[in-house]
Amino acid sequence: MKYSGKVIALLLLLVLDPARADAPVWKISNENNTLLIGGTIHVLQEQDYPLPLEFERAYAETEMLVFEVDIAQANSLVFQQELMQAVLYRDGSTLTSLLKPSTFRKLKVFTQKRGIALENLLSFKVGMLVLILTVNELNRHGIQAEGVDQYFTSRAIQDNKPIGALETIEQQIEFLSSMGEGDEDQLVLQTMDELEDFGEEFSILKKAWRQGDTQKLEEVGLEGFREFPRVYQSLLVERNRAWLPKIEALLSDQTVEYVLVGVLHLVGDESLLAMLEARGYQVERY
């Protein structure tokens, strides 16, 4: 199993099958209070709408939405400017000097085939490079519609529902700017390799997401990713641990919140759901 595909799946936190109806939405409760938590993918296609009924029911039955980050703030010009400052090398390094010559030659061929001007990307850190290559591949496959997070952000703003966030935009910027440090060549090489079959892999991931197939999501999204413990810990486990007390605080009042996070945060034995269950909360499919 390859490394970058797991990172890409996490970023997208990346096919209908009428035989199953369990969407990735769960009910979390203690003796007194309840919240709902749903697993998202951040980019979809027009044909993916309407979303599974459970997502819409959960929205209708809750009083507040909580996302990984404030989506409206993340779409702001200030965020874009801060992100661009963080993902550029400031010490004179470029991809030309950082990557091995063999890696850079393959990157040059890859970008030429896709009409990407590599000279415009040389000062970007590899985490941003991976994101740019992935977004370009999404566009090539017509995957351009807003994802679950943006969809429900727009709904909440329209309906005047309160919105909260589990982490700041500064933390999101840090994740992007530091991704792949120390593994630059491997990340770039395996990203290009997996993007060759991106459409098929994304379809598999999306089908498993829509069905709420946690076993398949773990197989596609996490197995192999765990072979890179530094990245796995920082992008998934440490963030889950940081979010856990915030979610517990939401369960301390009678407001019924709807928490929406990338679906891979809800898969595996170190997922948010596993952590909540270990803390004694009742976790059940919604």
User: What average pLDDT score do residues 142-148 get?
Assistant: 87
Find, among 239, 125, 237, the residue nearest to 182 by Cα: 125
C-alpha torsion angle, residues 90, 94, 99, 104 (rounded to 10): 160
How far apart CA 2 and CA 42 sit, in angstroms, is 21
Q: What pLDDT is recorded for position 285?
A: 95
pTM: 0.85
Residue 52 is classified by DSSP as P
Residue 7 has pLDDT above 80, yes or no: no
Residue 27, SS3 per DSSP: strand
Evaluated on CA atoms 260, 198, 190, 267, the torsion sign reads positive
How far apart CA 176 and CA 188 sit, in angstroms, is 14
CB 47 within 8 A of CB 128: no
Q: Of 20-24, 59-63, 91-95, 103-107, which range is least confident?
A: 20-24
Q: What is the secondary structure of 220-274 as a DSSP string?
A: HHTTTGGGSHHHHIIIIIHHHHHHHHHHHHHTTSS--EEEEEEGGGGSSTTSHHH
Cα 121 → chain centroid: 23
Q: What is the secondary structure of 117-177 as a DSSP string?
A: -GGGTTTB-HHHHHHHHHHHHHHHTT--EE-HHHHHHHHHHHHT--EEESS-HHHHHHHHH
Over residues 34-88, the pLDDT tens digits come to: 999 999 998 898 899 999 999 999 999 999 999 999 888 888 888 888 988 999 9
Domain boundary assignment for the chain: 3-234+245-285
Q: What pLDDT is recorded for position 71?
A: 85
Residue 14 has pLDDT above 60, yes or no: no
Q: How confident is the model at residue 22 (pLDDT cuts 50, 70, 90)?
A: confident
Secondary structure tally for the chain: helices H, strands E: 15, 8
